[in-house]
Amino acid sequence: MALLQWKSSLRRSSSVPVLNSWQNHTTPCNWTGIECSHNAPLVVTTISLPNSSISGRLGELNFSALPFLNYIDLSSNSLIGEIPPSIGTLSALSYLDLTDNMLHGRIPSEIGDMRSLSQYLGLSLNNLTGHIPPSLGNLTMLMDISIHLNDLVGPIPEELGKLTNLVNLELSGTSLSGQIPTSISNLTKLRLLYLHSNQLSGPIPPSLGNLKEMQDLELANNHFTGGIPISFCNLTQLNILYLAMNQLTGYVPQEIGWLSNLTSLVLYTNQLRGPIPASIGNLTRLNYLYLYENQFMGFIPDEIGNLVNLEAMFIADNQISGSIPATFSNLTSMRRLSLFDNTLSGPLPQEFENLTGLVELSLFNNSLSGNLPSEICKGGQLETFNVANNMFTGRVPRSLKTCKSLKSLHLAYNQITGDISDFGPYPQLIDANLEENNLYGELSKNWAESTNLNSLALARNMITGALPPELSRLIRLEILVVHTNNLTGEIPPGIGNLTNLYMLTLARNKFIGHIPSEFGRMRGLQHLDISSNKLSGSIPPELGNCTKLIYFNINGNNLSGGFPVTIGNLVNLQIKLDASNNKFTGGIPAQLGNLAMLELLNLSHNQFNGNIPSSFANMVSLSTLDLSYNNLEGPLPTGRLFGNASTSSWFLHNKGLCGNMSGLPPCYSAPKLDHHKRNFHNLALAISLPTCIALILATFIVIMAFHRRKTSQQTTAIQRRDVFSVWNFDGKLAFEDITSATEDFNERHIIGAGGYGTVFKAQLQGGRLVAVKKLHPTEAEMTDEKMFLNEIEVLMKIRHRSIVKLYGYCSHPHYKFLVYDYIDRGSLHVTLENEEVAKELDWPKRAAIVRDVAQAIYYLHHECNPPIIHRDITSNNILLDSAFKAYVSDFGTSRILKPDSSNWSELAGTYGYIAPELSYTSVVTTKCDVYSFGVVVLEIVMGRYPRELQSITSAGQREKLALDNLDQRPLLSMMEEDIALLVKVAFACQQTSPQARPTMKDVYHILMHHPSSYCFPTTSEF
C-alpha cells in the first residue's frame, strides 16, 4: 500500500512504463524494480528504478512501512523536494543512491542513524544545500560516499575520519571551505579522494601521504597554498594526481619520480617554480603531463623522452629555455604538445616526423629556428599547428599545404618561404594566420573550400595575382587581412556578400578599379582599410550603410569626385577616418560633424574647396584634424581644436583660410579703408598713442604700489593655490582641503590602488566624505594639460544614479587627482570574498546589481554624446553602498590618461574580463564592455570569478555548470528561471564574435522587462 500510494503521488505516473506493473491485488514481488526476501515472511527488500522517468517527491514514500529495505536506487530521475528525515529509520539499508535528481534542502542528519549503510551513499548531482552533517561519521561500515556537484557549504567534518572502511570519497564541485581535516589521513583504505572545485584553502596536509592505497587524488580548483608535500612519494599506487588551479608554490619534489604507477600529473595554473625534475622521466606509464601556467625555468629534461605512453604534454606559459630535446622523437603516442610562451630556442628535432599521431602542436611565442619538419602532417590527424612568432626559416612543409585535417594553422611572424599557390584545400579549417613571412605566388581558389573559415590573415608577404572571387563563398568569414602584398586587379564585388566580416584590410597592394558598392552590404564591418592602392572613381554612397565602422582608411589612392554625405552616417567611427592623398573635389560635407566619437580625421592632400563646416565644432572627441593641401577658404570654425597654435600645420597650403592662428592671416570683417580714411586714422593714432602710453604707465605705478603693500600678507597656502587649478563643486573645495583631509596623502587614508592611481578616503570640512584618486601616469602622459581639461569636461557631464559622481579635479603638470563621491561598502569583488557579507547579498539584491550595472553601461553607450566606452568593467570597478546599491566607477580614468591614443590594447581592461578580439586587434568597441559585463554577471551568480568555465566551449555545458555552481551563501529567494535568465544573458554577452553579442540596450531591455518571448540565438547561429 505504501508503494501504491507513492505511485499515485508521482507526476504523470500512468505514463511511466516501468510502473505499469504496479497494480493493486497483485504481489509487489513481481513488480518492476521491486524485489522481496526469499524467506518467509515475504517483505520488500529492494527498490531499483534508475533512469525511469520518475517525477515527484521522495518524501511521499512512507519509509516506515518498508523497514526491511536494504537497497534503494532511484538515480537519474526527476525527484524533487527534500530528503525526508524519516529515511533514517531504514536500519537495514546498505545501499542508497539518489544521484542525479532535483532534490534540494539540507542533508538530514538522520542519515547517520542508518548504521547498516555499508556499500554506497550517493547524493551527487542534486541541489542540496547547507553543511555536510557530522553524523555521517556514524556510518563506520560505509565504503563509498558520493556527494559531489551540489551546493554545499562549510567545512569538511572532522567526523568523516571515523569512516575507516571508506574506499571512495567524492565531495567535489560544491562550495566547501576551510582546510582539509587531518582526520582524513585515518582513512587508510581510501583509493579515491575527490575534493576538487571547492573553496578549500590552507596547505595540503602532509598526512595525506599516509593513504598508501590511494589511486586517484584530485584537489584541483581550490585555494590551497604552500608546496607539494614530499610525503606524496609514499603514494606508490597513485594513478591520477590533480593539483591544478590552486596557489601552490615551491619546487616539484624530485621524489615525484617514485610514483611509477602515475598516468596523469596535472599541476597547471599554480605558482610552482624551479626546474622540471628529471625524475619525471621515471613515470613511464604517464599519459597526461600538464605543467602550464607556472614559473618553471631551466631546460626540458631529456628524460621526458622516456615517457613513451604520453598522449598530451602541456608545459606552456613558463620560463623554460634551451632547445627541445631530440628524445622527444620517442614520444610516438603523443597527440597534443603545447610548449608556447616560453623562451625555447634552436631547431626542432627533425625526428618530430615520427610523431605521426599529433592532433595539436603549439610552439608559438618562443625563439625556435631552422626548418619545420617536412612530414609533420604525415599521420593525417593534425588539427592545430601553431608555430607563430618564432624564427623559423626554410620552406613550408609539403604535408602542411595539403593537410585536410587542419582546423587552425598559424605560421605568422617567422621567415618561412614557399609558394602559396598550392595551399589547400582545407575543408575543416577555422582560422589561418600566415602573416609576416616570405611567402609568394598567387592565392588559390582552394581557400574557398574552407567553408568553416572564420579568419584568414596573409599580410606582409610577397603574394601576387588577384584576390580570388571565390572567397565570396566564405560566408562565415569574420576577418580577412591581406595588406602589404603585391595583389593586383580589381577588388571582387562578391566580397560584399561576406556579411559576417568585421575586419577587412586590403591596404598596401596594387588593386585598381572602383570600391565595390556591394561593400555597403557588410553591415557588421568595423575595420575597413583599403589604403595605399591604385583605386579610382568615387566613394560609393552605400558605404554609409556600414554604420558599425570604427576605423576607415582609404588614403593614398586615386579616388575622386565629391565626398559622400552618407559618410556622416558612420556615427560609430572612433579611431580614424583617413581619406588623404586622393583627388576629392567639392566641399567638405557638413554631415561629417556628426562623427562625435572620431579621434582622427585626415582629409589633407586633396582638392576640397569652400569653407570648413562649422559643424566640426561638434566633434568633441577629435584630437587630430588635418586639412592641409586643399583649396579651402574662409574662417576657421570655433572650438578647442581651432584655437591651438601647435595645430596650425593642419590648415597650411590652402587657398584662403584665415583665423587667429600662427601661419594663417587674420580674418577681416569689413573692407579695406580708402586712402583718406587711412590718413584720418593715422592722425588719430598719432594723437592717441602718447596719451594711452601715459595712462598705462600711471596705472602700472598704482598697481605696483598696491602690490607691495599686500605682499607681506600673502601666505604660503595662497602661493600654493596659484600653482594648482582646482574646480570647486560647492565653492569651498580646494587643494588645501584635500591635502589636509588626507594628511598630505598619508598611506593610512588609502582605500584602494590600481593601475591608474591610488584612492584615498577624505572627510572634508562639514563632514562630507569623498574618494580622491591620485593619478600616477608617466610624465609623458601628464604634459597635455588642455587635453586633460577637455576630457574632464566630457566626464563631468556624466550624471547617472548608477555611476559614481565626479565632483571635481586638481590639475598640475606633475600632480593630478580626481574627486569622486565616496561609496561606503567598497567593491563588489571585496563583498563577494567576504563570507558573512556575501550571505546578506541575497538573490534579489544580486539581480538588482546586475540591472544597475546594465543601466549604467547602457547610459554610457547609448545616451552620452559622444558615447563613452568604459574599457574596464570588472567587479573591482563596481562599488556598493550600505544598501547594496551598485555604482560603476573608474569610467574615465584611462580616457583621461591617454585620450588621443589610437591603440588601446595596453589600457583595454583587466585580465580575465578582456574581450577575446583584443588579442588580435587594438580596436576597442562597446562590445568589449558587453563581454566584460557578461563575466561580471557570472561572478555575481557564482559568487566568484568563473575560472572553471573558461576552458569549456559548449554553450550548453557552460550554462549547466554555471547553474550547478550557483553561490550557495545566500538563501534561494528568487525563481530559478530568473537566475537562469541571468546566466543566459551572461553567456550571450560573452560570445567570441563581437557582432554576436547583444548591445547593452538589448541587455538592459531584457533584464528590466524579462519578456518570455525573447530568445538569445544559439552559438551555432553565430
Strand-pairing partners, residue 96, are: 72, 121
How many angstroms separate the CA atoms of 456 and 459, rounded? 9
473, 451 Cβ separation under 8 angstroms: yes
Is the four-CA dihedral 794, 796, 798, 803 of positive or negative sign?
Answer: positive
Joined together, the cell numbers standing for residue 735 give 587643494
Of the candidates 191, 97, 107, 192, the one whose C-alpha atom is nearest the C-alpha of residue 154 is 107
468, 492 Cβ separation under 8 angstroms: yes
Q: Tell me whether strands 384-386 and 631-635 are parallel, antiparallel or unpaired.
A: unpaired
Check whether the bond before 133 is cis (ω within 30° of 0): no
Q: Provide the 3-class DSSP secondary structure of residue 779.
A: helix
How many angstroms separate the CA atoms of 278 and 301, rounded? 5
Residue pointed to by grid coordinates 582608411:
553
Which helix (H) or strand (E) covers residue 400, if one does? helix 398-401
How many angstroms separate the CA atoms of 430 and 412, rounded? 16
Long-range contacts of 130-135 (CB under 8 A, 24+ apart): 130/105, 130/106, 130/154, 131/106, 131/155, 131/157, 132/107, 132/156, 132/157, 132/160, 132/171, 132/176, 133/106, 133/107, 133/108, 133/109, 133/157, 134/109, 134/158, 134/159, 135/109, 135/110, 135/111, 135/159
How many angstroms separate the CA atoms of 107 and 89, rounded? 15
Q: Give the sheet arrangement for strand 462-466, strand by strand.
A: 417-419, 438-442, 462-466, 486-490, 510-513, 534-537, 558-561, 583-587, 607-610, 631-635, 656-658
User: One-letter amino acid identity for 749?
Assistant: H
Is 821 an active-site residue?
no
654, 626 Cβ separation under 8 angstroms: no
CA angle, residues 173, 175, 178, in degrees to nearest 5:
120
Q: Tell me whether strands 750-753 and 757-763 are parallel, antiparallel or unpaired.
A: antiparallel
- Given 529, 872, 890, 967, the catalytic residue: 872
Q: Tell me whether strands 249-250 and 769-775 are parallel, antiparallel or unpaired.
A: unpaired
Joined together, the cell numbers standing for residue 862 give 547609448
Q: Provide the 3-class DSSP secondary structure of residue 271.
A: strand
CA angle, residues 487, 493, 496, in degrees to nearest 5:
110
How many angstroms separate the CA atoms of 10 and 64, rounded? 19
How many angstroms separate the CA atoms of 855 and 862, rounded? 10
Secondary structure of 49-106 in the HEC alphabet?
A: CCCCCCEEEHHHCCHHHCCCCCEEECCCCEEECCCCHHHHHCCCCCEEECCCCCCEEE
Q: Tell me whether strands 725-726 and 806-812 are parallel, antiparallel or unpaired.
A: antiparallel
344, 370 Cβ separation under 8 angstroms: no
How many angstroms separate the CA atoms of 854 and 863, rounded? 13
Strand-pairing partners, residue 273, are: 295
Secondary structure of 923-944 in the HEC alphabet?
A: CCCHHHHHHHHHHHHHHHHHCC
Residue pointed to by grid coordinates 560633424:
593
- Positions marked active-site: 872
